[in-house]
């Protein structure tokens, strides 16, 4: 059994958004596919690409979370590319909007930190985690797809850049601002990218994050929560589908563009 592309979601809202987007494109619903102790969902073929979906638990490192789920998916399906699709928090309510989409050029694994003291005796945090690049050819495909994606009033906008990734469910503006100081150019943050990167790096599988903004991690996460999450999940799923429809990710193209993802640590 092999999938060209494996999509990974975490919440039911994310999964349903992906299922509905692909149902409209393929004309059929998902088909359950149990392999080992994991249930996958065959979404059909889009532009000669067979796409499967799997749901992870929240976070990166726990039992059933992203790293373990992706590892099992690689073993079961031998995918050529894995895309984490769903929801995230945005970096700036002034520059971004709920429903805008974040695509990872890089991620910052912010949990690994040096905790020290500054000259005034205050707490100082210095990130020590990797800043790995997503697969360049997948990133290029999403940038190209954005050029051809026609949507009303130019919305949602797509932001390409660095996404913060850690185990914490962030809903505190002071903590979010601390994360922004780690990487001022970050476009947002989420919880599963670290596990995706570690599993794919180990097996030399291409990967990327595509997530819609559902909140600002500022203490108001529950405001319009369900509506905002549905919008963010639907938009990110639509962009993934649009990318697959634009140009086929067939095995020969993947082999030509395959790059091993090398961990990158800034000085």
**What mean pLDDT comes out for the span 11-16?**
97
In a domain, 171, yes or no: yes
In a domain, 22, yes or no: yes
What pLDDT band is residue 219 in, cutting at 50, 70 and 90?
Answer: confident
Residue 265 has pLDDT above 50, yes or no: no
Q: The tokens of 103 are what?
A: 């695509």
How many domains does one find in the chain?
Answer: 1
Distance CA 164, CA 70 (A): 19
In a domain, 159, yes or no: yes
In a domain, 266, yes or no: no
In a domain, 126, yes or no: yes
In a domain, 267, yes or no: no
For 145-203, the pLDDT digits (tens) are 998 887 878 789 999 999 999 888 887 787 777 777 778 899 999 999 999 999 999 99
- Between these two residues, 235 and 166, which has the higher pLDDT value? 235
Distance CA 39, CA 212 (A): 25
Residue 60 has pLDDT above 50, yes or no: yes
Q: Residue 64 sits in which domain range?
A: 5-257
- For the chain, the DSSP string reads ---SEEEEE-SHHHHHHHHHHHHHHHSS--EEEEETTEEEEEEEEETTEEEEEEE--SSSSSTTSHHHHHHHHHHHH--SEEEEEEEEEES-TTT--TT-EEEEEEEEETTSEEEEE-TTS-EEEEE-S--PBPPHHHHHHHHHHHHH---GGG-S-EEEEEEEE-S-----HHHHHHHHHH-TT--EEESSHHHHHHHHHHHT-EEEEEEEEEE-SSS-TTTTHHHHHHHHHHHHHHHHHHHHHHS---HHHHHHH----------
- Between these two residues, 48 and 69, which has the higher pLDDT value? 69
CATH code of the domain containing 242: 3.40.50.1580
Q: Percent of the chain scored above 70 by pLDDT? A: 88
Q: Which residues face 41 on adjacent strands? A: 32, 53
In a domain, 264, yes or no: no
Q: What's this model's pTM, rounded to 2 decimal places?
A: 0.88
In a domain, 262, yes or no: no
> 127 with 182: CB under 8 angstroms?
yes
- Between these two residues, 130 and 101, which has the higher pLDDT value? 101
Q: In this predicted structure, what is the pLDDT of residue 153?
A: 81
């Amino acid at each position: 059994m092999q999938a060209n592309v494996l999509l990974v979601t975490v919440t039911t809202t994310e999964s349903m958004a992906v299922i509905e987007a692909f149902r409209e494109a393929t004309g059929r619903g998902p088909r359950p596919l149990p392999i080992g102790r994991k249930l996958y969902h065959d979404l059909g073929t889009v532009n000669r690409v067979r796409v499967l979906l799997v749901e992870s638990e929240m976070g990166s490192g726990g039992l059933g979370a992203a790293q373990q789920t992706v590892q099992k998916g690689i073993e079961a399906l031998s995918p050529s590319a894995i895309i984490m699709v769903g929801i995230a928090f945005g970096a700036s309510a002034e520059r971004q909007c709920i429903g805008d989409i974040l695509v990872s050029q890089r991620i910052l694994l912010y949990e690994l930190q040096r905790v020290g003291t500054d000259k005034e005796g205050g707490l100082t945090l210095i990130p020590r985690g990797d800043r790995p690049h997503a697969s360049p050819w997948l990133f290029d495909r999403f940038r190209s797809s954005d050029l051809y994606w026609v949507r009303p009033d130019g919305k949602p906008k797509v932001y390409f850049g660095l996404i913060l990734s850690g185990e914490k469910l962030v809903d505190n503006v002071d903590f979010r601002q601390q994360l922004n100081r780690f990487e001022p150019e970050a476009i947002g943050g989420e919880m599963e990218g670290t596990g995706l990167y570690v599993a794919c790096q180990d097996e030399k599988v291409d990967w990327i994050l595509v997530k819609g903004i559902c909140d600002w991690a500022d203490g108001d996460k529950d405001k319009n929560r369900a509506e905002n999450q549905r919008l963010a999940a639907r938009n990110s799923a639509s962009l993934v589908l649009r990318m697959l429809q634009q140009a086929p990710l067939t095995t020969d193209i993947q082999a030509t563009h395959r790059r091993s993802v090398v961990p990158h640590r800034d000085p």
